[in-house]
Amino acid sequence: MKVLILGVNGFIGHHLTNRILEMTDWSVFGMDLAFDRLDKAIDNSRFNFLEGDISINKEWIEYHIKKCDVIIPLVAIATPKLYVEDPIGVFNLDFEMNLQIVKQCVKYKKRIVFPSTSEVYGACPDPEFLEDESFLIVGPIQKERWIYSCCKQLLDRVIYAYGTRGNLEFTLFRPFNWIGPRLDSLDVAKEGSSRVVTQFIAELLMKRPITLVDGGSQKRCFTFVSDGIDALMKILENRDNGCRNQIINIGNPWNECSVKELAHMLKRLFMEHPRHSGDKSFSEIIDVSAEKYYGKGYQDIYTRKPSIRKAQELLGWNPRVGLEDSLRLTLHAFLDENE
């Protein structure tokens, strides 16, 4: 099988590529702006890489959509701080660029495995989010955070509409706070614009305060990347075509914790780390208002827990890595790479 991965150097892209090259005889064709996470893949003869921007290299993309069997467009801005700072950038990249790729998959009759997001459920009050039943709830226009959720939701709806009319074969997957090695870089965290787990780890390393937005009672379910990749591989294998035109949550409902609990657990794991157990001081954990941290355009999501019944039934999949192990593995990888 020939797999096209756009955004192949990203957090999900490079983990998926490594797994495909290790476990299958498939070929991977990939494009990205950079290749710093692709050291394991780059010399593999089944890996074909172009360094470039998806908004410029359109001929390369069209040619490879024609050539490949399955298309996985992973290029997107997926960090809340940037939804608020650069909503038009989110729209241009996450929506407009990806819409062109969806249309080419329709044109060339290619299967698309598309990353939707847990963010589409927005402020849904359900205790567990169900792919085919839960309401997708966002806030007012002035709260620009929601542009990412809306972009992804509209793409989900466009893909679904092409699919149900027989013009596109698709699977939409919704990652719930995947974490793991090389989630975000230290440089991004230095500016304060990375996702919560890497942001907290970077603060611990830099001995800066860990900031709990609005007290940190909001909860997330953190999913270790190897579990997420297990599910994605089953989606790509698509046994008996069981994933055809399905939307599938990929998350770990047993790894739910509040942001405050997360901060304390990461601090403890950092203090236990062999290179840091003797440090003289450690980051304090402080509160900050959402407006101060993110600006006026932000609104938080208080709970986000997946139902994984569909993933269990369709894929025979269950996440296996618990919260503490997921955080420890993420922390240790980050420290090993940045010290």
Q: What is the binding site for ligand UDP (CB under 6 A)?
A: 80, 119, 177, 195-196, 199, 211-213, 216, 218, 220, 259, 300-301
- The helix or strand, by DSSP H or E, that contains position 58, with its residue range, turns out to be helix 58-67
- How far apart are CB 172 and ligand UDP at their closest, in Å? 18
In this complex, which beta carbon is closest to ligand UDP, that of residue 83 or of residue 170?
A: 83
In this complex, which beta carbon is closest to ligand UDP, that of residue 81 or of residue 310?
A: 81
Question: Which SS3 state, helix, strand or coil, does residue 63 take?
Answer: helix
Q: How far apart are CA 37 and CA 74, in angstroms?
A: 15
- How far apart are CB 169 and ligand UDP at their closest, in Å? 29
- The helix or strand, by DSSP H or E, that contains position 227, with its residue range, turns out to be helix 225-237
- How far apart are CB 106 and ligand UDP at their closest, in Å? 29
Is residue 101 a contact partner of residue 71, using CB atoms and an 8 Å limit? yes
- How far apart are CB 63 and ligand UDP at their closest, in Å? 34
How many of the other CB atoms lie within 10 Å of CB of 208? 14
In this complex, which beta carbon is closest to ligand UDP, that of residue 98 or of residue 303?
A: 303
- How far apart are CB 219 and ligand UDP at their closest, in Å? 9
In this complex, which beta carbon is closest to ligand UDP, that of residue 78 or of residue 105?
A: 78
Strand 223-224 and strand 219-221: pairing?
A: unpaired
Question: DSSP E strands: which ranges in the chain?
Answer: 2-6, 27-32, 47-51, 70-73, 111-115, 170-175, 178-179, 210-213, 219-221, 223-224, 246-250, 256-258, 285-288
In this complex, which beta carbon is closest to ligand UDP, that of residue 18 or of residue 255?
A: 255
In this complex, which beta carbon is closest to ligand UDP, that of residue 62 or of residue 300?
A: 300
DSSP category for residue 185 = -
- How far apart are CB 33 and ligand UDP at their closest, in Å? 21
Dihedral sign computed on CA atoms, order 293, 298, 299, 302: negative
Structure tokens that stand for 213 in this block: 């937005």
Dihedral sign computed on CA atoms, order 95, 97, 98, 99: positive
Q: How far apart are CA 17 and CA 40, in angstroms?
A: 9
Q: What angle do CA 175, 180, 185 make, to 5 degrees?
A: 105
In this complex, which beta carbon is closest to ligand UDP, that of residue 18 or of residue 283?
A: 283
In this complex, which beta carbon is closest to ligand UDP, that of residue 24 or of residue 217?
A: 217
- How far apart are CB 62 and ligand UDP at their closest, in Å? 32
- How far apart are CB 296 and ligand UDP at their closest, in Å? 14
- How far apart are CB 263 and ligand UDP at their closest, in Å? 8
Q: CB within 8 A of 173, min separation 6: which ones?
A: 113, 114, 115, 116, 231, 232, 235, 247, 248, 249, 250
Q: What angle do CA 320, 153, 256 make, to 5 degrees?
A: 30
In this complex, which beta carbon is closest to ligand UDP, that of residue 177 or of residue 246?
A: 177
